[in-house]
Amino acid sequence: MDAFDLKVRASLALLDREAQALEQAPFSIGTLTVGCALGYADYRFAALGWRELAPQLADWYARLCQRPSFVATEPLDG
């Protein structure tokens, strides 16, 4: 679990440094993948608190989640 935690934190740090590039990049399968991975982190690893670890990435993700395609396909609780 320690190795997993280290890898997740390193990945979040890298993505946080690249948040501006993500913002400027055209929407693609890559941006979709990052968005889905962060949504999965919210669902399965909420205790990780990834938004505090990667605040720039969290801001990018908040804007991504406002896209109509993300709104329309947001998982429902229950």
Give tens-digit pLDDT for 14-43.
999 999 999 999 999 999 999 999 999 999
Handedness of CA 9, 14, 20, 32 (dihedral sign): negative
SS (H, E, C) 47-66: HHCHHHHCHHHHHHHHHHCC
Give tens-digit pLDDT for 36-60.
999 999 999 999 999 999 999 999 9
Burial of 57 (0-12, 13-18, 19+ CB in 10 A): buried
- Is the whole-model pTM more than 0.85? yes
Q: What is the DSSP letter of 45?
A: -
- Binning pLDDT at 50, 70 and 90, where does residue 74 land? confident
In the chain, the percentage of residues whose pLDDT exceeds 90 is 88
